[in-house]
């Protein structure tokens, strides 16, 4: 068997019918670069879903018959796990607008708070995470002001299992041709059944972090947040998912 045929044989043994169906479709669309259908951070994911004839929607459910698709560049950048706002009822501040008003900065006429929260360091806005394992809570705190916002562990574990019961993490190389982006699919990592009770310890260790992406238009408009986004270092997927498997989409 060739390397490619051998990989297909092993894949047949490890994936169920839906996963094999999705893998076959990825192999087909990976035969040639995909022209981007849009620009921005979500361009690769949207282009891959378009090529797979998946209708874009705002649902939190997995993308393809129960399988979540996460597409990104071939980099060591953190991978998105899910988006989840704090539980405002138990938080000191009661909305993203309150947070950006207190800790944001003016940029290009807008009030913004684009920053990463980690449990192992304080960011430039004086914010960090504190994980209370005993009470099963993740707190965002300010070094001077104390508590800012809080997430319940049970809510975060529910987000993780709902979003990543089974996931294909797709890597693509990006080429710019005549000012158009083209995505060449290279491989994907297959994960299933996350170790949900490892989530809070991994946040505590700084392996999983949170990104705020809050903007108040013209400093006075309504505040909008594209998250908060919970992210994981790509080399740490095996700490959250048992036995992730990497499969090539390129014939060799």
pLDDT in tens, 11-52: 555 568 899 999 999 999 999 999 999 988 889 999 999 999
Q: Are strands 127-132 and 208-216 parallel, antiparallel or unpaired?
A: unpaired
The CA distance from 104 to 111, in Å, is 6
Q: Report pLDDT for 76.
A: 78
Per-residue pLDDT tens over the stretch 138-192 = 999 999 999 999 999 999 999 999 999 999 999 999 998 888 999 999 999 999 9
Half-sphere exposure of 104 (CA within 13 A, CB side): 27
């Amino acid at each position: 068997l060739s390397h490619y045929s051998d990989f297909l044989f092993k894949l047949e043994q490890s994936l169920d019918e839906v996963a094999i169906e999705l893998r076959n479709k990825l192999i087909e669309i990976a035969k040639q670069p995909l022209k981007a259908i849009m620009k921005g951070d979500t361009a690769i994911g949207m282009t891959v879903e378009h090529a797979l004839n998946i209708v874009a929607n705002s649902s939190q459910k997995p993308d393809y018959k129960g399988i979540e698709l996460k597409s990104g560049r071939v980099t060591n950048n953190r991978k998105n796990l899910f988006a989840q706002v704090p539980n405002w009822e138990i938080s000191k501040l009661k909305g993203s607008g309150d947070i950006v008003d207190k800790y944001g900065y003016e940029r290009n006429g807008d009030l913004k708070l684009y920053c990463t929260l980690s449990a192992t360091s304080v960011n430039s806005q004086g914010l960090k995470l504190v994980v209370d394992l005993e009470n099963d809570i993740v707190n965002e705190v300010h070094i001077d002001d104390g508590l800012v916002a809080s997430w319940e562990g049970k809510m975060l574990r529910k987000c993780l299992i709902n979003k990543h019961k089974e996931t294909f993490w797709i890597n693509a190389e990006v080429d710019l041709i005549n000012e158009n982006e083209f995505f060449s699919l290279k491989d994907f990592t297959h994960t299933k059944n996350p170790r949900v009770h490892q989530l809070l310890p991994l946040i505590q260790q700084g392996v999983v972090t949170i990104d705020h992406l809050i903007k108040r238009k013209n400093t006075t408009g309504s505040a909008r947040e594209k998250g908060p986004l919970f992210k994981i270092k790509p080399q740490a997927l095996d700490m959250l998912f048992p036995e992730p498997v990497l499969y090539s989409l390129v014939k060799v």
